[in-house]
Structure 1
């Protein structure tokens, strides 16, 4: 089962079939075809994409323009739209504040045009001179160096994260590049390390290496880079976060101006802005932390998943219990915003079934639970 909670002004979720006074809205309520079901969902600031079992992709959200459907009827903003041109085998739909992209199982890249997806690709790679050596210093001398210009056909897109100021593209060979979402230009190789995961916030990018190190790039205005200062990392390759040295991490999450990391032992580390308690600390006592600190939760809780929105955070324990903390003005924690606007310590979010997946973006959250046996 998939549930949505959070910002609803553009989605008008409750008017499309959602239930009043229910903070975790079941996405199955949006499907008119009783023989179909939602198998995946992707969220942005004012957009929601639903992938159904019959291969359809439905779009709900704000659009600047009106568009005629196949019958000539004008589709107005905030209507549930069936996308007519959708590639098969979707891996991810990455929704940014201004642009949205889709990645297929073949690692092809598509761009959202307003009502459908069209295939696109990065135009070129112009590398940062500081990264024009072989990726790993341990590589033997004489091994092929990175060229100044690499054709787009020489790689596939593994991941893409779209931030507000910076976006990042990860190729199938583990290289992470700054990505200009407007013109499709890859401008900077961020590191020589092999990267397995990336994340983007308002002003920063996080990168996770194959050996569990966490790197950061961008602006450090609120300590979100984790280097114990508010300095920017812009003119050099991404920098390893020294406070996490010796801690092998398996997951990262970039919030608006805060960051999370999950260690292999199930510990959560947080740093950056704490204006709404998104670090799990008292917002009245701590405004920010410029270096990672462990999340204070019961020693009995070990975590398997983390996610971060603009000013809220979530984590799932190994036994499927959902925790949330931070900003809840729009109900993005799945709690009643009339009684809880902020949580500055991790709270158990009441969910009937075991939670298996989460995704926080901007002012919203998606929560996936084990299948409801009554609907099998």
Structure 2
């Protein structure tokens, strides 16, 4: 029996959330972002008509669409509305996977024997729109890859069904850019040898693709041929992410302590970005040599950026460490997590900062979390060598 997988995508989610509160934004170009040197987080279809798109520098976006209404955005509000959508889906669907703040996969295999998958999915889409006020697009197919590509083709507020015998005709004429997780560098590499459409990629020998782009070549070939066996994994929300360091010898060395904190923050922030989380609450913990333990926390705008979190952690440490007694243990914890595949402060940081984080994360992903570290971390390294 073929699986039945649904991909649901909230159309221009951030913009739609703002329009719920301000109906005057309906029908006009809207850009969610911040600062002249910041980047576009999201934009309405009216703004896209002028060529604006996500991750574009704000200055360029406003040159293309000078009449756009710019809104800095509110991640806490967006997270609450996203959670509401998730709750509506979980109340109806047997298996729900929350892929990001505005995307969900549903496995409804077997449901057609009782209801009819198309009718059931359409009714669920209408239920989401009625209970949340947010526009939704969906695609129904036999796996996650085809369903996700289908949703992209059905927007805005669209629906599409792609059965097994229609997968190849549907995928073949599309650009390889439509394949999930195919980045710009891979696109340029394939484009240089004439592979620009999915049907061309699907006909390439797998071993040739692996020689060109490494171990991901086989996965890319499978996606181009509409093959994807990955399961829909039930959604569970991570509550926190943390790390602690117990010193071999109790210390009062402030440079060492700050260096250890810096390393902790870098490691945890990279983990946040890798797993697609943002944090809103930072906690620092210290345990003195007499085993007295103290903690202090503060709230921050939703982020996963090292420099924002490190500043907060060091500030908390300065306020917390007042007894000038030797320290046995130090720890950092991030809580108040929400989904969001975002790497820096969404509405405040610059294009240059975004590019820097993307470059560092690529290196860390390939060579390990400690392959690139801040200068403060060298003190910690020297202390352990």
Which TM-score band (shorter chain)? Answer: under 0.3
Between Structure 1 and Structure 2, the one with more strand by share is 1
Between Structure 1 and Structure 2, the one with more helix by share is 2
TM-score (norm 1): 0.26
Greater Rg by CA: 2
Which protein, 1 or 2, shows the higher relative CO under an 8 Å CA cutoff with sep ≥ 6? 2
